[in-house]
A and B are shown apart, each in its own frame.
Chain A
Amino acid sequence: MQTLVAYVENKPGVLNRVSSLARRLAINIDSLTVGPTENEEIARMTIVAHTDEKGAHRLEASLEKLVDVLLAENISSRALLERDLALIKVSADQQNRPHLMELIKVFRARVVDVAPESLIIEVSGTVDKIDGLLEVLRPFGVLEMARSGRISMTRGGDLLRPPIASPEVPEGVAVKSQ
């Protein structure tokens, strides 16, 4: 599994170009998230792809050939912070509810909706953590689940910013990838 970050033009059709490129290279996308950045003309993507380092290089280089992609970078080998968010609706009755609450606490998740027969649990964290919670919730009956897909960011001073002169970058901070 390889993680890439891409900055793209925030306009219609760009997501199609990116996903279509992965399809053309026969690379299966595990998760792709898009969101706006502090610059409204630029969106940031986190792409988690089922491929090896060589495939990720090809995807990265091919992405950067797209006119609307400003920058693409394989960050798999860097120190990363990654987050996934899940909303999980589990069936919960009077009997098992205390036990459920116990588990939710252990996983530092929280209950965001309560109904007579079910709960919605919100959990964020690494994929492993969410998968772990899911595993223990399964016996209670998972009724519905929505996951955001991964977003990733390199840690510390290892900045990955869109290639636009931005006044917010303090002087002396090197933009490593440029």
Chain B
Amino acid sequence: MKLTGAEILCESLTRLGVRELFGYPGGAILPVYDALGKSKLHHILVRHEQGATHMADGYARASGGVGVAMATSGPGATNMVTGIATAMLDSSPVVCITGQVSSKVLGSDAFQEIDITGITMPITKHNVVVTRAEDIARTIREAFIIASSGRPGPVLVDITKDAQQASAEFDWEASAPKLPPKRVRSNHDKAEFDRAVELLNTAKRPLILAGHGIMVSGAMHAFEQFVRAGNYPVAMTLLGIGCFPAKDPLNLGMMGMHGEAWVNNAIQEADLLIAVGMRFDDRVTGDLRTYARNARKIHIEIDRAEINKNVQVDAALVGDAREVLEKLTPLIENRDHSAWIQHITELKGDSAVRDIQSLPDTGHLYAAHVINDLWKETNGEAIVVTDVGQHQMWEAQYYHHNRPRTLITSGGLGTMGFALPAAIGAKFAKPDSEVWVVVGDGGFQMTMSELATIVQEKINIKIAIINNGFLGMVRQWQEFFYDKRYVATPLVAPDFAALANAFGIRGERITKRAEVVPVIRSARESAETVLLDFRVEQEDSVYPMVAAGASLSDMIRRPNNPLVETATEP
């Protein structure tokens, strides 16, 4: 069957199971858009190509499948760069398809020509230029495999306009992927495995560091079996949140820069760290010279390049988290860690038992109130998509996730503007789930044009803006480390409720604590998107905090007065 390259692309995407893709048309991708119109694919028109990549990313993270974004050449492609880098740093399987000028004029600085494969080389897992229609099907199939296999990541496929227009024989069987024959390394040698088992069975104060890799591997069940087999307390990375239920007594919560004190102290006191699908990021370890000096380390990780990158480990088990955990679990003999767990419970001390809801209503509205109420009202079941900054950390502290893929956030790159478009993508992946955006007034203003996309697509998400009139996290650093010189952090914003109205979205402004629960209830009852503008305390800070480069033992703790302590179960 003869098809144009553009038709082959649409047919290939359909056969790969794609239903929705996010994009923005332009000259060099027009043949594909023409073919899209004749296909069954649902194209979501975004307002900026960065939004398209974040939506594809949100789609991928919520679904566990591949998200697809599309843009034209030149500025369309360069606008995708931030979204691609975001997906790269968080190992998210995104396939970006860009139009390119015709192969005959490649390299001539033609209108809207840019070397997007050159630009995105360090921020993609792989990228490729396609100049022939007959190569499109195979390349797209390869892109999906590369994006979603091993440690996932973004792949960019740049297709010249003449390849889109030319006709070629479409033969799905004949266009099977032909990836280079890579060396298959054995997962780990036996000595390394035996050492890990010995460490597990001799540890007195073991602690698991649970990361995103557990979710990526689909290892939640194997992980739980492993945790139960050894009665191991579990600390989570930001992206690991959800891989193990927050309500489980063995789950201590998030570690690192804004981790609770008992979590970081437990890491510093542990005699064995079992790192699963995490990469010892600097936001997790603090100063490496003082990090977990009492602990031997086991690293279960699919990416060999992460082994001994930041932290030297005693046993490295390179492989898929699920496979490795399934092999380890039956060999665990050392199960009783009650004294150690008891000790960690004591570390929680006062900070764990004080419920922010029991603090007197002083008339102030704190972000932690909002997020804690949101957690209770949604029974911790919503998909929450956060942006970057203070609200992101408060969400991680006060919204207790019990299920995987329910917290979607930009961890590695820390991309402001991520939340709103990523939530749109998540909603398309999980149309029956309740999706909440938790976003600051700064990040929201970066990509708020996507409100129009929400209206055009008639989707139902809920937006909670934690509005403190500052670029809050930067302001906090200025307060702590720059003597409160608030340079370029006070932030003027439009009236977000009125802005929402202008888009045709219901908007509300909330200033009092007593209004929080009713407005959340009313928003949840609505079948349409609602925007809630929470005017919270302006100079509230996230505690505890480990300053950048400081020791994990060296936390800035919550002040006694005022305010907010960690919530307990409702």
| A interface with B by C-beta (< 8 Å) | 9, 13, 16-17, 20-21, 24, 54, 57-58, 61-62, 64-68, 70-71, 162-164, 177-178
Instruction: Tell whether A61 pairs with B179 under 8 Å between CB atoms, given A17-B121, A20-B121.
Output: no
Assess the A57–B308 pair: CB atoms within 8 A: yes
Inter-chain contact total with CB atoms closer than 8 Å: 48
Chain B interface, number of residues (Cβ within 8 angstroms): 20
Instruction: Check if B1 is an interface residue, CB within 8 A of chain A.
Output: no
B34, chain A: closest CB distance, angstroms: 30
| B interface with A by C-beta (< 8 Å) | 117-118, 121-122, 125-126, 146, 151, 179-184, 303-305, 307-309
Instruction: Give the residues in chain A near B118, CB-CB below 8 Å.
Output: 16
Assess the B305–A61 pair: CB atoms within 8 A: yes
Assembly CA distance A177 to B309 (angstroms): 22
- Which residue of B126, B151, B304 contacts A67 across the interface (Cβ within 8 Å)? B126
A47, chain B: closest CB distance, angstroms: 16
**Residue among B121, B179, B182, B304 with most chain A CB within 10 A:** B182
A21 to B, closest residue via Cβ: B122
Instruction: Give the residues in chain A near B151, CB-CB below 8 Å.
Output: 65
- Which residue of A16, A20, A163 contacts B184 across the interface (Cβ within 8 Å)? A163
Q: Which 10 A-B pairs have the closest CB atoms?
A: A61-B305, A61-B304, A163-B183, A71-B183, A67-B126, A62-B305, A9-B180, A24-B122, A164-B181, A163-B181
Assess the A177–B121 pair: CB atoms within 8 A: no
Instruction: Give the residues in chain B near A57, CB-CB below 8 Å.
Output: 307-308
Instruction: Give the residues in chain B near A178, CB-CB below 8 Å.
Output: 183-184
A57 to B, closest residue via Cβ: B308
Assess the B308–A54 pair: CB atoms within 8 A: yes
B145 to A, closest residue via Cβ: A67
Assembly CA distance A141 to B146 (angstroms): 54
B378, chain A: closest CB distance, angstroms: 39
Instruction: Give the residues in chain A near B182, CB-CB below 8 Å.
Output: 64, 70-71, 163
Assembly CA distance A70 to B182 (angstroms): 4
Assess the B308–A70 pair: CB atoms within 8 A: no
Instruction: Tell whether A64 pairs with B146 under 8 Å between CB atoms, given A70-B180, A163-B183.
Output: no
**Residue among B118, B183, B184, B307 with most chain A CB within 10 A:** B183
Assess the B183–A58 pair: CB atoms within 8 A: no
8 A-B pairs with CB atoms under 8 Å apart are A9-B180, A16-B118, A24-B122, A61-B304, A64-B183, A65-B151, A66-B126, A178-B184
Instruction: Give the residues in chain A near B308, CB-CB below 8 Å.
Output: 54, 57
Instruction: Give the residues in chain B near A20, CB-CB below 8 Å.
Output: 121-122
Assembly CA distance A149 to B181 (angstroms): 28
**Residue among A9, A24, A67 with most chain B CB within 10 A:** A67
Instruction: Give the residues in chain A near B304, CB-CB below 8 Å.
Output: 61, 64
Assembly CA distance A165 to B117 (angstroms): 32
Assembly CA distance A17 to B303 (angstroms): 19
Assess the A65–B121 pair: CB atoms within 8 A: no
Assembly CA distance A70 to B179 (angstroms): 10
Instruction: Give the residues in chain B near A70, CB-CB below 8 Å.
Output: 180-183
